[in-house]
C-alpha cells in the first residue's frame, strides 16, 4: 500500500512520462475523500516539479443514468492541465493517450471569477459569467489495463477521480453567440471518428443539463477549498457514447447552434 502521497506522486510521474502504472487494489483510495487527496497530490507534484498549470476542471458521469449503469455513486471530477488544452483543428499527440476515448462535451470558459457567497451556486448565478463552446474531452488513464480490468465499478470510479478524472487532452472550439437560447440538455451532438457511424446520443436520464453540471462542478471546487478564476474552462460531461481513438484518427463533432470542433490524433 503506497498511501495518498505515494500514489499521487506516482501518477504525476507517469503522467509526465506518458506512461502507465501497474498497482494492486490495495493501493487504491478507499473512498472519495481519499481519492481527492490523491488527485491533489498529483496536481501538486505536476505544478511544483514539472511546471504544469491548472487551466480548469472537468467532470464525467454527471447523470444519474450513467452513474447507475457504471455502478458509481456520483460524478467523477478532475482538473484540466494547461499543456493538454488544444484549439479546434489541432493535431493532438498520440503519446498522451493511453486507452484513449473521445467524448463530445459542452465547454464553458469563465470571463470573470464567481464571487464567493453563502450557499451553493446555481446555474442562474453562473450563466452571465461564462461563454459556451463545443469541446472534445479525450480521456486517458495512468493505470495499466491489466490491473484495472479486475477492479469493481466503485474502485474504477475512485481510481478515475485520483487520476484527475481520467484526464487526457481537451480540444476547444470557438465560443458561440447567444448560446443561452439553446436547449443543451436535448441537443443532438454529431460525433464522428473517421468514417464510422455517428456516436449514439446520451439523452434522458443519461444526460444532465450541461449548465447544471457546470454548477455542480463549481460547487465541488469551492467546497474543497479551491476556486475558479477568469479564463478557467470547465467541461461538463459527455453528450454521446465515448468512442475509441487510435493513432491517425480524425475526429469531428457538430453541435447545432453551438458550432463544431475537430482534431486529428498524431501517428506517433
pLDDT band at 210 (very low <50, low <70, confident <90, very high): very high
Q: What is the mean pLDDT of residues 173-192?
A: 97
Q: What is the largest CA-CA distance in the chain?
A: 51
**1: pLDDT strictly greater than 80:** no
Which of 215, 213, 202 is closest to 242 using CA atoms? 202
Of 186, 205, 238, 248, the closest CA to residue 60 belongs to 238
Q: Coil, strand, or helix at residue 95?
A: helix
5-44: b or e for each residue (b if 16 or more CB lie within 10 Å)?
A: eebbbbbbbbbeeeebbebeeebbbeebebbbbbbbbbbe
**Strands of the sheet with 259-265, listed across from one edge:** 90-92, 259-265, 250-255, 190-193
Q: State what percent of residues in the chain have pLDDT above 90.
A: 93
Q: Is residue 117 very low, low, confident or very high in pLDDT (cuts 50, 70, 90)?
A: confident
Quickly state the pLDDT bin for 149 (edges 50, 70, 90).
Answer: confident
Q: Taking 60 as the threshold, does the pLDDT of residue 82 lie above it? A: yes
**201 DSSP 8-state letter:** B
Q: How high is the pLDDT of residue 213? A: 98
pTM: 0.95
What is the structure's pLDDT at 52?
A: 97
- Mean pLDDT for all residues in the chain: 96
Please check the confidence at residue 84 and state whether its pLDDT lies above 60. Answer: yes
Ordered by where they begin, the domains of the chain are 53-265 (3.90.850.10)
- Write down the pLDDT at residue 3: 85
| Residue 113 pLDDT class (50, 70, 90 cuts) | very high
* Average pLDDT value for residue range 1-18: 91
In tens, the pLDDT along 15-58 reads: 999 999 999 999 999 999 999 999 999 999 999 999 999 999 99
Amino acid at each position: 500500500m503506497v498511501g495518498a502521497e505515494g500514489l499521487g506522486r506516482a501518477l504525476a510521474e507517469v503522467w509526465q512520462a506518458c506512461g502507465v502504472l501497474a498497482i494492486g487494489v490495495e493501493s487504491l483510495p478507499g473512498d472519495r475523500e481519499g481519492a481527492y487527496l490523491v488527485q491533489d497530490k498529483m496536481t501538486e507534484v505536476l505544478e511544483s516539479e514539472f511546471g504544469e498549470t491548472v487551466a480548469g476542471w472537468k467532470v464525467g458521469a454527471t447523470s444519474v443514468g450513467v452513474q447507475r449503469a457504471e455502478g458509481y455513486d456520483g460524478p467523477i471530477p478532475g482538473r484540466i492541465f494547461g499543456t493538454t488544452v488544444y484549439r479546434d483543428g489541432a493535431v493532438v499527440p498520440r503519446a498522451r493517450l493511453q486507452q484513449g476515448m473521445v467524448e463530445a462535451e459542452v465547454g464553458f470558459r469563465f470571463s470573470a471569477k464567481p464571487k464567493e457567497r453563502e450557499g451553493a451556486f446555481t446555474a442562474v448565478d453562473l450563466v452571465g459569467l461564462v461563454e459556451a463552446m463545443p469541446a472534445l474531452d479525450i480521456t486517458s488513464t495512468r493505470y495499466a489495463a491489466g490491473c484495472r480490468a479486475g477492479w469493481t465499478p466503485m474502485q474504477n470510479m475512485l481510481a478515475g477521480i485520483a487520476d484527475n478524472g481520467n484526464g487526457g487532452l481537451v480540444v476547444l472550439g470557438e465560443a458561440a453567440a447567444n448560446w443561452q437560447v439553446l436547449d443543451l440538455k436535448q441537443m443532438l451532438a454529431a460525433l464522428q471518428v473517421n468514417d464510422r457511424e455517428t456516436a449514439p446520443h446520451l439523452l434522458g436520464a443519461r444526460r444532465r443539463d450541461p449548465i447544471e453540471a457546470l454548477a455542480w462542478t463549481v460547487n465541488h471546487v469551492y467546497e474543497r477549498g479551491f476556486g475558479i478564476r477568469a479564463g478557467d474552462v470547465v467541461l461538463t460531461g459527455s453528450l454521446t457514447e465515448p468512442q475509441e481513438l487510435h493513432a491517425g484518427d480524425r475526429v469531428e463533432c457538430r453541435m447545432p447552434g453551438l458550432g463544431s470542433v475537430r482534431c486529428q490524433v498524431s501517428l506517433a
